[in-house]
Structure 1
Amino acid sequence: MTDPDDDIAALLGDLVRTLQDLQGEVEPRTADGRPRPPTPSELVRFTSDVTIPAAILVLKTNIEALKLLRRALRLADGRPSTASSGGDVQERATQLSRATLARLDDALSDLQGAVEGRPPDAEARELLTEARQLRASLAERLAESESVAGDDFDGEGTDVPVDVDAELRSIKDDMDDPTGDEE
């Protein structure tokens, strides 16, 4: 039969490696320890997924606002509006509002996932799941070890809690801190 301490040490080693992999995924570093600049493919993906759609949305919103301003100026001047009916303007405004709200819902869902620790990257999600499984397995082993140690030493076991979520928050805080350790 294997020694429970060896099993715990192996699980702890796996957990440390998984957390390091997760940190590398979330916060890639260069050889000298500085944060790695984004790769060209990451910049292209960010531009195509975020920047361009955001710019298009801003431009569409500005165009619609200018059209509404033009109509308001015509009405204030006493000239007829170029729109066929008030219902058409209302329908377009409703469609624009729905599209904006849908995009806002998507952005909020992404933000909520990030806050709750669900990274959008599949590999990071997989590493996070693996880290949580290893943490649970390690907690089980420690509990077993404590019960055995408690029997052997009249209840004098040591408690070594491992809080992966706290570690992940710490990593995130380090990433979000603009003043960082770099000098």
Structure 2
Amino acid sequence: MNTLPITSSLFRWPARLALLLLVAALSGCAAFAPPRPFTTEAEALAARGEPTARWPNEDGSTVLEFATQPYGTTCLMVEVDATGVVLRQWDALAAENLARVKVGMTQDEVRRLLGQYRSIQRFANSGEEVWDWNVPKDYYDVVALRFNVHFVDSKVVRTSQSYEYPRDRWMFGVGVGRGSPYWGMGWGHRWGYPWGGYPYWHPWWGW
């Protein structure tokens, strides 16, 4: 009888497909792993290209800024001495660095602290000028999380956060096994990307 082999193969291919998807997802995570520490300015430039800004310090050292706005969520800062040796490096958009923005800071101070912003909005009624940055999301079901710095007369008056939620999107998932429960990964897309939106992963479960 050929019934058993056919049935067995019928339910074997979804498991194989799920395994391939898992391997692909893990490979993607590895590709976006945090950068290894650089030891020289030449290494940083070879890996990242030209910096978006160079910030000189009074002691002769320089901070190289590698911003990823408007779509990225990191801003690598690499401090080098006069000979090009790396002294330290950090992510300017990490939570602990965002917390360093204080009321009364100037726009130049904020620009140097956080790196290149994503966009600027001006509000006539409040007199505010708001700079925003894409930062790492703290919820999986949002498209983007933005850190906002509000200025009045070029001085910080407050900070805030805003979320962009998915609107028009399609979802795709693969069920594994027979019956329930099932699980999978969905790929959501806001129409208009890369000009008007962002791609995002969305896990889903069901019974």
**TM-score when normalising by structure 1:** 0.31
Q: Which entry has the higher C-alpha Rg, 1 or 2?
A: 1
Say which structure, 1 or 2, has more relative contact order (CA 8 Å, 6+ apart). 1
**TM-score when normalising by structure 2:** 0.28
Structure number having the greater strand percentage: 2
